[in-house]
């Protein structure tokens, strides 16, 4: 179907489009309000103060009425046109509106000149005036075809234009705007249109039934103690999240209407907690089974309850009273947001929550909706027979990504209206990506609202109105300390010359350095996967060849300081309790080493020394971290590892590396053989090795490398000595002596620094004591000077 | 053109919608006063307030509990009766005003014309 045919279908909306063109929507609303107010005042005036014989007042009343009534009727007509199911018409009102704007000889140009087109351009901070007036191939209505002929929405319509108008596509491409972004924006604008439309229609059954009823108070009791230790749930005000949880909400309803054991246990991520306010809204709407009509959800504040009760007896007394109140009130559904945590913290008082709850859970009088994260569910709830019996479990898949976008877009409409700011589309995208990537721990709703309120506040303070991608990145940078904006010139040069910079500290290992530098350039130019760690490396090689030093150099050059290195000695995580020590213990409440490290500073290099020594459990955990950049700690809270560079070092396969080196082969060419040998020996599982971005083989150091290293070390040492007033250099022969002593096949160059310091420093000290050198002297040490 | 589609709507779809709107408002009154719930719990204690019978044969206690509970039931019945009666009035109002509006809607073009002409004659 071409656009000219589509326009025929759009005729249905013509009266509404014509109305908007004659008098704008907002103006009409204001006018109608004014006339209604005047009419109301006149009616009151006439009824209260005026005798019937006063004809002027009645005359005015009737004249105003004769204007008001057709106005209202026309608005109702207008509304009816807009709200008709667009699937029946064949297209949405927004598409119809753009079709009736401008000139049919240039579809693209007329779309861009329509109000909607202008808004889209504004969101992309684009000026298309030049494009519209430029000489280009112009497409007429009959030239452009839409793919789907039964129902055309905005994104389908615009998608068809972009697909067929090559110049327009190039124009977008030149401004770094993808088709997908334009279509996403179209979908949002259309969703927003319908949400606003639904909000304005107070006369629908849905809206009218939302008004709370007054008779409920007489029929049901109050739960005074529960009210102190809980929060009464308010029904969700927007409709946006319903679609995401519709099926689950129906399932919960089915569970709650059972005659006994009507308790639901929702297992999954934190986003599931949104279901609480959605369920309340569903009940308020009234389209639920009679068994849960008029019910109120109360979220039990378990922490408060435990901290107030303090001891076992008081807690038991209070909790039983609350449960009895729930039965007495008759219209309460009890919500426990984190059932495993509640069970465990009650355990700390010596209270067994589950046996206490059991008779209530079994009865028809109490309904509980409890939530749990998957990991804690498996650990605490699944082994418990009573829980399995009395609760119906509901496993919900993770919907975080979709939800963050939906909430952000919805809340942006609200903030734009109330704060007078305007979000560019790239800013919206940056917010969604940023929250997904950097703020994984808290509820995304809180993160979104906090971020948007923060942003609007800052922009208003600056006297600006438009929020750009840069503003968003600046805020995130400030909040996280992670650089996010495009690399600046200095940094760009650093990235380009990364090999050179790293080689100032790392001698040899050319292939290793090249592979690392490539990965980092990929990361910083933004083409790496944002839902994984920044980079993951497995460094293989014998001891003392520069693996750890490379990690340090990376931290210093890429993250600004060597302090940005977080080091874990994985040989400490080899016992049966390894995993608990690493991510924390749920039973003892002890925090794990890794979550603590990453929460304190989620940015830098994570160095996993002697990775091969970690237990199998730990290796399995890293399978997930390397893949998703995210893991859960002992309490089920998410920990973010997406902003770190993971470097695991291992000397597994060293024998083979030595052997190849002895045979004079370039070990970096034998990476596959070395990895195969490691996998064969079952040191690492093949899937673990495969998940690293790059496996880097460090070759054993040749004598010339070691001499160079020794020189660098000696330079550092002489700088230190110079500060003490002595200038010391080593003769080549002395350097050879040190190298001979400091290098072993077992420890590589690891001992070199120690030997150098010991020998040179003790020689200098001895000579100073003997009076052979004084402050201000400079000298060259020979081999014989070093001999003790 | 637009006026024709308006006329078709005014005497077609709008009349049908009016019925469902009417239904919405009646449903609203039912829900606002929770009439069904009030009828179902007509003889229950007001706000579930009252006392529980303790075991044993304490005559005084039995009697006082009985009196209190009966009192709460009487209060409950009274309050509910008042609310139900009010809601009945509200429903009658909705029905009547609905009917009036329906008639006005049918005759709207005429009504507008008459009010305008009559209003103007009164003013002049």
In residues, how long is chain A? 788
DSSP secondary structure of A670-700? GHHHHHHHHHHTTSS-HHHHHHSSEEEEPPP
Measured in angstroms, the CA of B119 and the nearest CA of chain A are apart by 4
Helix ranges (DSSP H) in A53-114? 55-83, 86-89, 93-99, 107-113
pLDDT, tens digit (0-9, with 9 covering 90-100), for A169-190: 999 999 989 999 999 999 999 9
Q: Smallest CA–CA separation between A108 and chain B, in Å?
A: 27
Q: Which of residues 319-348 of A touch B (CB under 8 A)?
A: 328-330
Backbone angles phi, psi at A717, to 5 degrees: -65, -40
What DSSP designation does A591 have? B
- What pLDDT is attached to residue A735? 79
pLDDT tens, residue by residue, A133-149 = 888 888 888 888 888 77
Residue B16 scores a pLDDT above 60 = yes
**pLDDT band per the 50, 70, 90 thresholds, residue B51:** confident
CB contact under 8 A, A14 and B1: yes
| pLDDT at A559 exceeding the cut of 90 | no
**Residue A507 in contact with residue A701, Cβ under 8 Å?**
yes
The answer to whether the Cβ–Cβ distance between A205 and B2 falls below 8 Å is no
Instruction: Enter the ipTM.
Output: 0.86
What are the angstrom distances between the C-alpha of A280 and each of A275, A290, A644? Answer: 8, 14, 41
Task: Kindly report, residue by residue over A275-291, the tens digit of the pLDDT.
Answer: 999 999 888 887 788 88
In this predicted structure, the answer to whether residue A788 has a pLDDT above a threshold of 60 is no
* pLDDT of A267: 93
Is there a contact between A221 and B49 if contact means CB atoms under 8 Å apart? yes
d(CA A156, CA A765): 82
Pick from A15, A69, A215: which is nearest to B83 by CB?
A: A215
A59 contact residues in B (CB cutoff 8 A): 118-123
pLDDT band of residue A748 (cuts 50, 70, 90) is low
The pLDDT tens digits for A387-419 are 999 999 999 987 877 888 888 888 898 899 888
Q: Would you place residue A607 in the very low, low, confident or very high pLDDT band (cuts 50, 70, 90)?
A: very high
**Rounded distance between C-alpha atoms, residue A629 and residue A627, angstroms:** 6
Write down the pLDDT at residue A103.
Answer: 67
> Residue B116 is nearest to which of A66, A76, A204, comparing CB atoms?
A66
Round to whole Å and give the CA distance between A632 and A274: 20
| Cβ–Cβ under 8 Å, residues B30 and B36 | yes
Phi, psi of A649 (to 5 degrees): -110, 150
Distance, in angstroms, between B116 CA and closest chain A CA? 5
Task: Reply yes or no on whether the pLDDT at A528 is more than 70.
Answer: no
Instruction: Write the residue in B27, B80, B116 that is nearest to A218 by C-beta.
Output: B80
Lowest model confidence (mean pLDDT) among A79-88, A459-468, A508-517: A508-517
User: Which residues touch B16 (CB under 8 Å, ≥6 apart)?
Assistant: none
Q: Give the tens place of pLDDT for each residue, A424-440.
A: 999 998 898 888 777 76
Residue A383 Ramachandran class (φ > 0 left, ψ -120 to 50 alpha, else beta): alpha
Question: Could you give the CA distance from residue A153 to residue A501 in angstroms, rounded to a whole number?
Answer: 54
* Residue A23 near chain B (CB below 8 Å): no
Grouping H, G, I as helix, E, B as strand and the rest as coil, residue A539 is strand
Angle formed at CA A375 by CA A374 and CA A381, multiple of 5 degrees: 80
- A-chain residues within 8 Å CB-CB of B83? 214-215, 218
In tens, the pLDDT along B76-105 reads 899 889 999 999 999 999 999 999 999 999
For residue A152, the cross-strand partners are: A91
The alpha-helical segments, DSSP class H, found in A127-257 are 129-133, 154-164, 166-174, 179-200, 205-208, 216-219, 224-228, 242-256
The continuous run of DSSP H or E covering A722 comes out as: helix A703-723
Mean pLDDT across A703-718: 80
pLDDT the model gives residue A52: 61
Nearest chain A alpha carbon to B3 = A15
pLDDT 10s digits, A193-208: 988 888 888 888 878 8
Residue A322 has pLDDT above 90, yes or no: yes
| Contact yes or no for B48 and A69 at CB 8 A | no
| CB-nearest partner of B2 from A15, A65, A329 | A15
Nearest by CB to A215, from B5, B34, B119: name it: B34
A219 in contact with B, Cβ within 8 Å? yes
Whether B33 and A214 lie within 8 Å, measured CB to CB: yes
pLDDT recorded at residue A211: 79
Nearest chain A residue to B114, by CA? A66
Give contacts of B10 with chain A, Cβ < 8 Å: 73, 77
Smallest Cα distance from B124 to chain A, Å: 8
pLDDT at residue A324, as a whole number: 92
Q: In chain A, what percentage of residues exceed pLDDT 90?
A: 32
Q: Cβ of B83 and A214 within 8 Å?
A: yes
**Beta carbons of B48 and A221 less than 8 Å apart:** yes
* Whether the predicted pLDDT of A487 surpasses 70: no
Residue of B nearest to A201 (CA): B21
Query: A99 near A2, Cβ under 8 Å?
Result: no
Give residue A720's pLDDT: 79
Percent of chain A residues past pLDDT 70, beyond the cut? 95
Question: According to the model, what pLDDT value does residue A230 have?
Answer: 94
Q: Does A88 touch chain B (CB under 8 A)?
A: no
Give Dmax over CA atoms of chain B in angstroms.
87
Of A56, A215, A329, nearest to B37 by CB-CB distance is: A215
Residue of B nearest to A219 (CA): B47
Segment A99-121 shows an average pLDDT of 86
Chain B touched by A41 (CB under 8 Å): no
Tell me whether residues B120 and A59 touch, CB distance under 8 A: yes
- As a whole number, the mean pLDDT across chain A is 86
Q: Does A707 touch chain B (CB under 8 A)?
A: no
Q: What are phi and psi of A290, to 5 degrees?
A: -55, -30
User: How close B63 gets to chain A, by Cα (Å)?
Assistant: 22
CA distance B65 to chain A (A): 17
| CA A582 to each of CA A380, A596, A692: distance values in angstroms, whole numbers, following the listed order | 19, 9, 20
Query: Which residues of chain B are within 8 Å of residue A283 when distances are taken between CB atoms?
Result: none
């Amino acid at each position: 179907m071409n656009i000219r045919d589509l326009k025929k279908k759009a005729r249905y909306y013509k009266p509404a489009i014509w109305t908007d063109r004659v008098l704008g929507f907002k103006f009409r609303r204001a006018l109608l309000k004014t006339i209604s107010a005047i009419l109301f005042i006149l009616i009151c005036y006439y009824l209260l103060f005026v005798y019937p014989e006063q004809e002027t007042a009645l005359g005015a009343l009737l004249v105003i009425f004769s204007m008001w009534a057709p106005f209202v009727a026309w608005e109702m007509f207008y509304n009816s046109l807009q709200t008709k199911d667009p699937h029946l018409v064949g297209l949405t009102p927004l598409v119809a509106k753009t079709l009736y704007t401008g000139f049919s000889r240039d579809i693209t140009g007329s779309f861009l000149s329509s109000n909607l087109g202008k808004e889209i351009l504004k969101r992309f901070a684009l000026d298309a005036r030049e494009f519209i007036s430029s000489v280009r191939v112009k497409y007429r209505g009959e030239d452009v075809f839409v793919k789907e002929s039964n129902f055309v929405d905005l994104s389908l319509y615009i998608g068809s234009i972009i697909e067929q108008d090559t110049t327009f596509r190039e124009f977008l491409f030149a401004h770094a705007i993808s088709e997908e972004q334009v279509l996403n924006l179209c979908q949002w604008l259309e969703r927003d249109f319908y949400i606003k439309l639904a909000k304005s229609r107070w006369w629908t059954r849905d809206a009218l039934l939302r008004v709370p009823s007054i008779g409920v108070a007489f029929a049901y009791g109050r739960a005074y103690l529960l009210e102190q230790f809980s929060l009464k749930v308010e029904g969700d005000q927007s409709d946006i999240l319903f679609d995401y949880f519709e099926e689950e909400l129906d399932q919960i309803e089915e569970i709650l209407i059972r005659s006994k054991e009507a308790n639901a246990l929702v297992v999954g991520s934190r986003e599931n907690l949104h279901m609480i306010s959605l369920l309340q809204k569903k009940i308020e709407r009234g389209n639920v089974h009679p068994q849960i009509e008029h019910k109120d959800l109360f979220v039990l504040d378990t922490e408060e309850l435990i901290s107030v009760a303090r001891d076992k007896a008081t807690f038991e007394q209070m909790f039983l009273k609350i449960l009895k109140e729930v039965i007495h009130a008759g219209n309460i559904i009890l919500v426990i947001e984190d059932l495993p945590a509640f069970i465990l913290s009650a355990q700390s008082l010596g209270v067994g929550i589950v046996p206490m709850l059991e008779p209530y859970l079994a009865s028809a009088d109490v309904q509980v909706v409890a939530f749990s994260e998957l990991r804690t569910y498996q650990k605490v709830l699944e082994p418990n027979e009573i829980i399995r019996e009395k609760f119906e479990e509901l496993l919900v898949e993770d919907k975080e990504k979709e939800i963050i976008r939906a909430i952000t877009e919805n809340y942006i409409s609200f903030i734009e209206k109330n704060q007078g700011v305007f979000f560019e589309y790239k800013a919206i995208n940056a917010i969604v990506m940023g929250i997904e990537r950097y703020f994984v721990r808290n509820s995304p709703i809180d993160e979104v609202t906090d971020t948007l309120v923060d942003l609007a506040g800052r922009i208003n303070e600056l006297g600006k109105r438009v929020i750009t991608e840069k503003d968003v990145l600046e805020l995130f940078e400030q909040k996280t300390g992670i650089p996010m904006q495009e690399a600046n010139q200095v940094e760009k040069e650093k990235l380009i010359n990364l090999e050179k910079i790293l080689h100032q500290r790392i001698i040899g290992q050319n292939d290793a350095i090249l592979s690392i530098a490539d990965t980092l350039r990929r990361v910083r130019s933004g083409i790496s996967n944002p839902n994984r760690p920044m980079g993951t490396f497995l460094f293989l090689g014998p001891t003392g060849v520069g693996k750890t030093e490379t990690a340090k150099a990376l931290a210093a050059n890429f993250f600004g300081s060597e302090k940005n290195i977080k080091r874990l000695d994985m040989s400490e995580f080899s016992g049966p309790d390894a995993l608990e020590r690493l991510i924390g213990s749920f039973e003892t409440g002890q925090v794990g080493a890794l979550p603590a490290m990453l929460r304190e500073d989620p940015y830098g290099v994570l160095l996993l020394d002697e990775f091969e020594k970690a237990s199998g459990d730990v290796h399995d955990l890293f399978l997930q971290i390397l893949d998703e950049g995210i893991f859960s700690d002992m309490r089920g809270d998410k920990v973010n590892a997406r902003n770190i560079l993971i470097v695991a070092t291992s000397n597994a396969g060293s024998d083979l590396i030595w052997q190849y080196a002895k045979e004079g082969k370039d070990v970096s060419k034998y990476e596959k053989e070395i990895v195969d040998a490691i996998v064969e020996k079952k040191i690492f599982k093949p899937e673990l090795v495969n998940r690293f971005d790059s496996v880097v083989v460090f070759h054993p150091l040749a004598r010339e490398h070691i001499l160079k290293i020794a020189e660098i070390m000696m330079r550092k040492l002489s700088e230190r000595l110079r500060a003490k007033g002595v200038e010391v250099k080593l003769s080549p022969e002395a350097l050879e002596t040190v190298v001979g002593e400091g290098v072993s096949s077992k420890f590589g160059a690891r001992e070199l620094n120690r030997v150098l310091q010991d020998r040179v420093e003790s020689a200098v000290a001895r000579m100073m004591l003997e009076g052979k050198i004084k402050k201000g002297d400079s000298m060259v040490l020979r081999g014989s000077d070093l001999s003790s | 053109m637009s006026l024709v589609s308006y006329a078709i709507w005014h005497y077609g779809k709008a009349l049908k919608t009016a019925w469902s709107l009417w239904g919405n408002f009646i449903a609203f009154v039912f829900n606002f006063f929770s009439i069904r719930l009030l009828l179902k719990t007509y003889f229950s204690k007001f706000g579930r307030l009252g006392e529980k019978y303790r075991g044993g044969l304490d005559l005084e206690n039995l009697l006082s509990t009985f009196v209190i509970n009966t009192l709460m039931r009487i209060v409950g019945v009274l309050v509910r009766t008042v609310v139900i009666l009010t809601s009945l009035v509200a429903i009658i109002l909705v029905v009547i005003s609905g009917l009036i509006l329906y008639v006005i809607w049918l005759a709207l073009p005429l009504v507008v014309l008459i009010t305008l002409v009559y209003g103007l004659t009164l003013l002049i």
